[in-house]
Amino acid sequence: MFQQSLDDLGTPLHEATFCVLDLETTGGRRDSDMITEIGAVKYRGGEQLGVFQTLIDPGKAIPPEITVLTGITSAMVSRAPKVEQVLPTLLEFLGDAAIVGHNVGFDLAFLNSALRRSGRDAWNGTKIDTLAIARRLVRDEVPNHKLSTLSKHLRLANQPNHRALDDAKATADLLHHLLERASALGVLGLDDLQQLPKMQRHPQAVKLRLTENLPRSAGVYRFIDRRGEVLYVGKATNLRARVRSYFSTDRRRKVDQLLRETQKIEHTVCSGALEAEVLELRLIQELRPRFNRRSKNWSKYSYVKLTLNDRFPRLSIVRESREDAAFYIGPISSRRVARDIVDAIETVVPLRRCTQRVPREPRGEPCVTAQLGTSVCPCSGDVSEVAYGKIVRCALAALEDHPERLLEPLRERMLDLSSQQRFEEAADVRRRASALSGALRRQRQIDALRGAGRVVVNAAGQGCTTLYQGRLVDEKDPPTAPQLGQVSTVARKEEIDELWCVASWIESEADTLRLVHCDYPLASPYPNLDDFRARKGLVLEGRRG
């Protein structure tokens, strides 16, 4: 059966086609009771386009109480067509219109039951329930929300009488009245109308008018207070639907305060999801809105550093990277994760762990980790500078080109601890191995992107996207390509969120992208890595890449 697209749902209400439907039945059980009458009226822009009305032979006697209620007798339907004969004409009349009903679920349940019995698919298009909308808009004005009560209270031209066509006309009058009221809440499209019942008298509903000019396209939105301060920045594939959801489905506590302070909502339309996400990241970094959490803490990111310019290099966690010939992993978004990475490397490679300067002449006892056999101790003279250099070169080779030399021993240790039922220790090893694997995998993705210079890819449905050193740039004014090797060796903290975003987008959309241009090869010889994630049934087992 017909199902509307997102574009159809964004149709302005004055252009939408509504088919108001009402069914009379032998009772309220959709599986055993049958339809006795169908009434429908089709409208567009307030103009009546057509009327459909027919009695239906239910194939069974109509109960007396139903006859009293509707006035429809068994004699009246004895020569009427069966519902199977009527369905093709009814479906043609409905077409691609949005079906409207008062408690529309009742009518659709009987319609779909009849469709299934006749071997047809259920109807799954747009439905509008005037009962739910009335509960939202006139709940304080009437004792109940029955169609008869609403029709009398609002003095509608058509009054219901439990006959299908008359009830459908009364429901149509009610719909048009409710649409007038809903316009004050910024309800301008079919999607707005469907979402309206979910808003449940939101205390900030008056501010729905701020969403009137939002388009149904991808982009970035900004909530702004009376002083002009940006309170919150967000992205969306459908700006209008996302912002309006704050007044209905979003129940986070901070949202109430956000909406109370908001006096204006601005937006920027983007070509697609990547541009929207990148613009969101950049604006959050620039404006640091009070209500945003994500991407505000980039200045606190850390690096894992191997100090290659020392006589006896060691690992450390630092806040900044420098052009000092050291080897860096990062930026890393959490100091705790950085600590796990250091522990993972030191579990396999016996680098020194003491932090004091190594004396020219050996002195003192070996440090505790050296006594335990988990590291060497240059301070005590138990390893020469030449021998230590071999250890450092092994560590560097593993980090740069052969990560399996670090990850496989970690896997073996994890499984060995597990076999000894030392599960907490095994879980610690798995966590550290996962941190190291993830950091190395991300770093290679970022290095490949940054080293490729200017890259142009064609994304299906979004046109061409231009990147420069891994960051999104304006295709009309791209920077000139750098010479190979001129790119700084380590990504900066302020750009890493965007680089991760672009790398993730390329990875997730790889099967839909076409490479149009790149200054230098966009590839990495790095192997696939085990992610060491815990899985159901394999708590300690990782996945081999």
Contact 19, 44 (CB under 8 A): no
Asked if residue 530 has pLDDT above 80, the reply is: no
Contact predicate 376/383, CB 8 Å? yes
Q: What is the pLDDT of residue 544?
A: 36
Identify the pLDDT of residue 538: 40
Share of the chain above pLDDT 70, in %: 86
CA separation for the pair 390, 153 (Å, rounded): 90
* Per-residue pLDDT, 314: 87
Whether 42 has a pLDDT exceeding 70, the answer reads yes
Q: Among 36, 135, 30, which Cα is nearest to 77's? A: 36
* Burial 165-176, CB ≥16 within 10 A → b, else e: bbbbbbbbbbbe
- Given a cut of 60, is residue 372 above it in pLDDT? no
Label each residue of 197-223 as H, E or C. Answer: HHHCCCCCHHHHHHHCCCCCCCEEEEE
pLDDT higher than threshold 60 for residue 47: yes
Instruction: Using alpha carbons, select from 110, 161, 130 the residue that is nearest to residue 18.
Output: 130
Query: pTM to 2 decimals?
Result: 0.64
Rounded Cα gap, residues 539 and 436, in angstroms: 18
Residues 379-413 as b/e (b if ≥16 CB within 10 A, e otherwise) read bbeebeeeebeebbebbeebbeeebeebbebbbeb
- Domains plus CATH for the chain? 6-191 (3.30.420.10), 202-296 (3.40.1440.10), 334-440 (no CATH), 442-518 (no CATH)
**386: DSSP letter:** H
Q: Read off the pLDDT of residues 246-277 as tens digits, 9 standing for 90 and up.
A: 876 555 668 888 888 999 999 999 988 889 99
The residue-averaged pLDDT of 14-27 equals 93
**133-155 average pLDDT score:** 90
Q: What's the pLDDT at 252?
A: 64
Long-range residue pairs from 316-319, CB within 8 A, at least 24 positions apart, any chain: 316/342, 316/355, 317/342
397-455 pLDDT, tens per residue? 999 889 999 999 999 999 999 999 999 999 999 999 999 999 998 888 888 888 888 88
pLDDT tens by residue, 483-521: 444 455 788 888 898 999 998 888 888 888 888 888 888
Active site residue 162: yes
Which amino acid belongs to residue 175? L
Query: What average pLDDT does the segment 170-179 reach?
Result: 94
**Taking the alpha carbons of 307, 310, 315, 317 in that order, is the dihedral positive or negative?**
negative
Residue 17 has pLDDT above 90, yes or no: yes
- Residue 197's pLDDT band, with cuts at 50, 70 and 90, is confident
Q: What is the pLDDT of residues 303-353, one digit of tens each?
A: 999 988 888 888 999 998 888 888 999 899 889 999 999 999 999 988 887
CA distances from 538 to 197, 415, 433, 437, 533 (A): 45, 11, 16, 18, 9
Task: Give residue-wise pLDDT tens across range 75-124.
Answer: 999 999 999 999 999 999 999 999 999 999 999 999 999 999 999 999 98
pLDDT at residue 31 in the model: 85
Kindly tell me if the per-residue pLDDT of 8 is higher than 90: no
- 16, 125, 406, 456, 473 from 122: Cα distances, Å: 22, 9, 57, 45, 47
Q: Which pLDDT does position 527 carry in this prediction?
A: 63
540: pLDDT confidence band, cut at 50, 70 and 90?
very low
Residue 9 has pLDDT above 60, yes or no: no
Catalytic residue chosen out of the listed positions 162, 176, 202, 517: 162
Average pLDDT over residues 464-487: 68
pLDDT of residue 229: 94
Helix axes 335-348, 385-400, angle to 10 degrees: 120
Phi, psi of 135 (to 5 degrees): -60, -30
Residue 235's DSSP bridge partners are 220
Q: Is the Cβ–Cβ distance between 470 and 502 less than 8 Å?
A: yes
Distance CA 328, CA 310 (A): 14
